[in-house]
Amino acid sequence: MVVEEELRDFYDIAIVIPTLNEEAGIAPTIQSIKEAIGTKFSYKIVVVDGLSTDKTAEIARSMGAKVIRQRRRGYGDALQVGFYYVDTKMKTAVTVMIDADGTYEPKDIAKMADIIISGDADFVIGNRFANMDKDAMTTVNRIGNKVLSSVARRLLKIKVSDSQCGLRAFRTDLANIFYNSSLGMPFATEMLTATSMYHIRIKEIPTSYYKRVGDTKLNPIQDGGRILGTIIRLMRDTRPLSFFLSIGLVMIGIGAFFGIEVLLDYLKTHTVGRIPTTILSVLLIVLGVQTISLGLISDMIKNKNYDKRIFFSE
Ligand SMILES: Nc1nc2c(ncn2[C@@H]2O[C@H](COP(=O)(O)OP(=O)(O)O)[C@@H](O)[C@H]2O)c(=O)[nH]1
Ligand SMILES: [Mg+2]
């Protein structure tokens, strides 16, 4: 592929914006980024469009953004494509991701870049709860996000209050970790899991969250299910032994509860009377033991899967 001449230039910041039919939001988003950054940093906006059927791509191009199209679907895929593009086709120090819906404050981009360029952190994430417009997020989403963030904080041992925040900045030389990661979680959480696994130094800054321009691309019920699924996957992947051990022990506990009745009966009468209860009890105990074995195997696989890349601080 021929890389356009201007992309051979060095930029301080690459700003990746995933878009899917954001005709109403894309122009104000790009305009406010231009105003907020001014001449403080050199930057290039990379819009990763998900086959929008409206004028999003044309508007972005006319405003000077580089527009690329993802071939697959989804927000996470779009970001991975954008990070890959920045890493392999451009030269930049910092990569930023932001939505095209006017929900984030572009002034925070420069703050984040400052932190990364000064070497205070490798990865900066916003905390939208610090300054959130009243109707910017539904109550269900707010609670779901808080619960997920608290689980992520505990399991991943990283300090984040808002694990789903879509305004983030990181050192571009770490981009490959994010676009290569395939931990099977929704992308916002996947990035944090990689951050924890690779000891990337993360820092949180307070940010704003405004009400969206245009329609959301996500569905609240699906979103809730996704959050719950993510919590379960996080527990399974970060603490496989305790995850499967607790499930196994619960099964064995219930099995033993039924089993004791059968055993007491047997001691008294020397016959096994309750056949269905006996079968249930044995089944639960066997399944419980199997689940615990699964935990032991998963634990071994997890420990073997650690990346061997070397990280250091100066
Ligand atoms: N390229 C691409 N962008 C997407 C896709 N889904 C969502 N987006 C964009 O990703 C950003 C976040 O989506 P949004 O609907 O705002 O989700 P929310 O912020 O969680 O409510 C927006 O700029 C969307 O246009 C997709 O499948 N492909
Ligand atoms: Mg959004």
- Number of structural domains the chain divides into: 2
The per-residue pLDDT for range 28-52, each reduced to its tens digit, is: 999 999 999 999 999 999 999 999 9
Residues 192 and 253 in one domain: no
Distance CA 155, CA 167 (A): 22
Q: Which residues contact 297 (CB under 8 A, 6 or more apart)?
A: none
Q: Whose CA is nearest to atom 21 of ligand 1?
A: 216
Residue 108, phi-psi category: left (phi > 0), alpha (psi -120 to 50), beta (remainder)? alpha
Contact 273, 281 (CB under 8 A): no
Separation of CA 75 and ligand 1 centre (Å): 5
Return the pLDDT at 310. Answer: 63
The CATH code of the domain that includes 17 is 3.90.550.10
Last residue of a domain, one of 223, 238, 253: 238
Does the residue 196 lie in any domain?
A: yes
Return the pLDDT at 309. Answer: 64
Return the pLDDT at 307. Answer: 59
Return the pLDDT at 225. Answer: 84
Tokens 């356009």 correspond to: 4
Does the residue 250 lie in any domain?
A: yes
Last residue of a domain, one of 222, 238, 254: 238
CA 223 to ligand 1: nearest atom:
20
What pTM value is reported for the model?
A: 0.89
Separation of CA 222 and ligand 1 centre (Å): 14
Return the pLDDT at 2. Answer: 60
**Bridge partners of residue 43, in order along the sequence:** 13
The pLDDT of residue 224 is above 90:
no
Residues 196 and 299 in one domain: no
Distance CA 120, CA 167 (A): 18
Q: Which helix (H) or strand (E) holds 43?
A: strand 43-49
Contact 108, 127 (CB under 8 A): no
Separation of CA 157 and ligand 2 centre (Å): 26
For residue 33, give its domain range: 8-238
Q: Please give the structure tokens belonging to residue 292.
A: 């615990």
Residues 147 and 22 in one domain: yes
Mean pLDDT along residues 69-79: 94
Average pLDDT, the chain: 92
The answer, yes or no, to whether any atom of ligand 1 lies below 6 A from the CB of 108, is no
Nearest bound ligand to the CA of residue 164: 1
